[in-house]
Structure 1
Amino acid sequence: MTEAVHPAPASMSAAEWQARCELAACYRLAWHYRFTDLIYTHITARVPGEEGHFLINPYGLAWEEITATSLVKIDVDGNKVGDNPHPVNPAGFTIHSAIHRASHDAAWIMHTHTRAGVAVSTLEEGLLSLNQIALQFHNRISYHDYEGIALDLDERDRLVASLGDNPVLVLRNHGLLTTGPTAASMFNTMFYMERACAIQVATLSMGQPLRAVPADIAAHVAKQYESSMGDEDDVALEWAAHLRLLERIAPDYRD
């Protein structure tokens, strides 16, 4: 967890301020790692202790501009809660609201349109078991068929059904989505999912015969990840490293 440079505003709980600082960190890190899509797509967080309230990026700001105070609080329908000068994009919250409402564990949700992620989303088989990084997602990825731009509220139930209990949802012909109970777990999952997709795109571009990992080995490695490398302490160590990076390159994220 990161400590805020400024104390929480008088009208805000310490828990909300902590969530704001961590969500702003996610946006800045996504910018640094080139996961952004200009002003579009979202990373959202449930406001601790507030039923049906969430934090989202101000519509129109680039992700490298986002700070803890600029984040907008909204309700489950994407309407602003409280006084904030920044606009929001309610239509863009359709996917996030569906999952936030349905899953208590999905307190944090990240959706991206990266080149590698979208490329893999267009493949019939999606992410392939081609390398060690990809194997941490073996049997942990769900897929949702493309229905057009996510503006229709009636798609929300189908999104939730597609995700099931997995932390990753590949939106076919669209992009990637990861969830988690914490900012660290959500971002960690997207970081390595994006890397797995980038490696797959590079591998397929070579035009050589592929050597897929046998199914029994893939299952074995997935269990290894789950039992050793998937420990929350490891995720916390990675998150701390990410935050130290921000302290060097963009410490104003906590403003």
Structure 2
Amino acid sequence: MVRGMTTYLLVPGFWLGASAWDAVAADLRARGHEATAVELGHAPGDTAESHVSDVLDVLAAPAAPAGAPGPVVLVGHSGAGPVCVAAAERARDRIARLVLVDTGPLPDGVAQIDFTPPEAQAATRATLAAHGALPMPPRAELDAAGSSTAGIPDPLFDEVRARSLAEPAGVVLTGVRRGETDETLPKTVVACSFTPGDIRPLIDAGVPGFAELGGPDWSFVSLPTGHWPMLSEPGRLAELLAAGT
């Protein structure tokens, strides 16, 4: 084992498969670490809770992740943020650090859709009613909705979208079951499409989903880019993770 090796478990957000982490994982391995990306389920019956189970199953496997001998750094992007928070709370002994990439926790049972404007919720529900799943929107729609694609070359974005996975209705419409928060677990938000200063007023106001970020166990680091840093700035993201972010 490489001296000082850390094991990272990387969890993709909405529409992305494990391959979205390929560049970050390769960079971490080149630095002497282990890195494994989780493939979340996208079957019609999957829910936010089943995604938590996907992560817990990897953590509980005898040789997982990647033969890790001890606790891992659990990293969740975007829609995987609340999933990873719940998984970390329910498998605390397997987690050394929690890192949320351009995302944050949600209160117990609160769904992703609940944190979007009413008109966006209506459009999402209409798509789900028509198709039973939510496909990855075009680039312009993502940018307009606040999920900035800045920094991603057009050919790469087109490739990622072509391989994207439609999110089942249950993943979009349901929340996760939170466990017990442990303030001894270090937690970091990597802020990409927003700044720590952007959310400070929400923390101070006690807004659900933000208030807990003001706890002593939470820290922030900035990585100015779009909402998808594993695609726009994979080397820099890997550097931050390897530095103990």
Whose radius of gyration is greater, 1 or 2?
1
Higher normalized contact order (CA 8 Å, seq sep 6+, divided by chain length): 2
TM-score range, shorter chain: under 0.3
Normalised TM-score (structure 1): 0.27
